[in-house]
Structure 1
Amino acid sequence: MRNAAFIFPGQGSQYIGMGKDFYDEFKESRYVLEEASDALSMDLRKLCFDGSEEELRKTENTQPAILATSIAMLRVVEKEGIDCEYTAGLSLGEYTSIVLSGGFDFFDAIKIVQKRGGFMQSAVPLGVGGMVAILGLNQQKLSIVMESVREEDIVEVANYNSPEQIVISGELNGLKSASKKALELGAKKVVELPLSAPFHSSLLFKALNISDLESFDRTMKILQGGV
């Protein structure tokens, strides 16, 4: 018998209307969206189904929206008796994986990722950074691309998704220059990802300032029933 694994998506996979078919069809999914909305004191259903792309792209909204949608779908899968032996997640998706494995309950996790998203967005203002996927360019040529923008802006390799897809992250001007250079060197395609910040880059180190860490620690204590 084959072992099953569930792998959950991260930021960039969001879109308006995601999960609506599950919400309309299954009460299990509706319960998840209602619980998430109560936990966050916001109408997450409206954001996911009827909101704007701009609002959904803001990372403090994106993170809880993707987590809630993933769990809403997972609950239906579980109801059908489908389970897994292994679970993992891509970036934000690790939180869905942790909920599935029992590390957090969903009510706490949805609060944590909203805080996480807020800290990350505060590190780099909207319109300053982003991420780009480069398709069909080998690592040797990618090194040439990165060297060409090294003195211009902060641009770094974020993810080696496959030999044919590498994601870079950084400041928007640098990403634009890197994308142009990648196409000149033979990349099949470059895709700007629908994200509001340069995730998996050194620009996010600013999210680790002491005041944020103290605030996060206080939040965790409250979630755990402390003071």
Structure 2
Amino acid sequence: MEKIAVLFPGQGSQHIGMGKELADQRDDVKKIFELADKALDESFSELIFSGEEEELKLTANTQPALLTVSAAIWQALKNEGISASYAAGHSLGEYSAHVAAGTLSFTEAVQVVRKRGEYMEEAVPSGQGTMAAVLGLEREALEEVTRQATEEAGIVEAANFNCPGQIVISGSAPGVEKAMELAKKAGARRTMQLQVSGPFHSSLMKPAAEKMNPVLTPMEIGEAEMEVIGNVTAQPVAKENVVSLLEQQITSPVLWEDTINYLLEQGVDTFIEAGPGKVLSGLVKKVSRRAVTLPVYDKETLDKAVAVLKEGK
């Protein structure tokens, strides 16, 4: 193995019970959940382990919950002697990447993403904005679709460039609906509305980005132990740009396909996904079938990843 990157998932990967098995069996994992409870001043781990799905799905809960689980899993991997050269996270997962790299402290990050979730929920009244996945359409064709739909029905923009042939759009409900219709006419294989509470990664999130500025600005930025690749640029994030890029990220598209291509160009051949599920591992495989992907979300997958990584050393 040449180089390892660790990836962290974003909203949509959450589920009740995530991380519980590891927390029950490992003190290092349990400690991260206890830190989250203390930082948020509530029994937050109870919500994650045995709460109501609807409550966990609230953006203000989903974001700190995913950060907590991802940070706990990475801590377990680190304590097993695993390290990486690069970290990247999808949307919210970028905060997990900064925690893993040491640029942000876990306690500060979990408090910040709670605010991020609240502000993103408040930015657009429920039902007025949405997101949809468009499959089988190239970027240029989709750009024309979103331009036309915005003119005819309301704001809609590209939000996530996930992998070849999978782009997520975001914007006003009428704009997204129109874009889905136009995308099919333009040759899209399929369009699918997503179950989300708002038009994330679009210009409609500007009120959230503005509110986040005074929350992000005072954050203490540490020296990175590994390079963090940003969503906005798909390039390494310099220490002095951490805050501005996390603010821009709220209204900018997630350049995930570009991020994976950048990591492949740097010689990365192994991707650990630290967090619930294996969505990002699937996206990596769509960019490069040759890449080794190791999703880690419970004891079995942790043991398997550690065995594979130690064997490759």
TM-score tier, shorter chain, comes to: 0.7 to 0.9
> What is the aligned length?
219
Q: How does 1:1-227 map to 2 (within 5 A)?
A: 1-151=1-151, 152-209=153-210, 213-214=213-214, 216=215, 220=218
Can you list the C-alpha shifts for 1:29-65, whole angstroms capped at 9, x where unaligned? 2211121012112222232233333322222111101
Query: Do the aligned residues in 2 keep the contact of 1:12 with 1:193 (CA within 8 Å)?
Result: no
CA distance, structure 1, for counterparts of residue 99 and residue 140 of structure 2: 39
* Residues 12 and 193 of structure 1, relative CA distance in 2, 3 Å threshold: farther
* Residues 171 and 55 of structure 1, relative CA distance in 2, 3 Å threshold: farther
Task: Give the gaps of 5 or more residues in structure 1.
Answer: 223-227
- Hey, what does 1:225 align to over in structure 2? none
- Equivalent position SS for 2:3: coil
* Residues 52 and 173 of structure 1, relative CA distance in 2, 3 Å threshold: farther
Q: Larger deviation: 54-63 or 189-198?
A: 189-198
- Equivalent position SS for 2:84: coil
Can you list the C-alpha shifts for 1:96-148, whole angstroms capped at 9, x where unaligned? 11111111211111111111222222211232222222111223432443244
- Equivalent position SS for 1:4: strand
Task: Give the gaps of 5 or more residues in structure 2.
Answer: 221-313
Can you list the C-alpha shifts for 1:172-203, whole angstroms capped at 9, x where unaligned? 23223322333344323333334322111110
- Equivalent position SS for 1:150: helix
How big is the alpha-carbon RMSD for the aligned residues of Structure 1 and Structure 2?
A: 2.4
Displacement after TM superposition at 1:159 (Å): 2.0
CA distance, structure 1, for counterparts of residue 73 and residue 53 of structure 2: 21
1:31 partner amino acid: K
* Residues 53 and 181 of structure 1, relative CA distance in 2, 3 Å threshold: farther
Query: Do the aligned residues in 2 keep the contact of 1:58 with 1:195 (CA within 8 Å)?
Result: no
* Residues 208 and 85 of structure 1, relative CA distance in 2, 3 Å threshold: closer
2:13 partner amino acid: S
Q: TM-score, normalised by structure 1?
A: 0.85
- Equivalent position SS for 2:191: strand
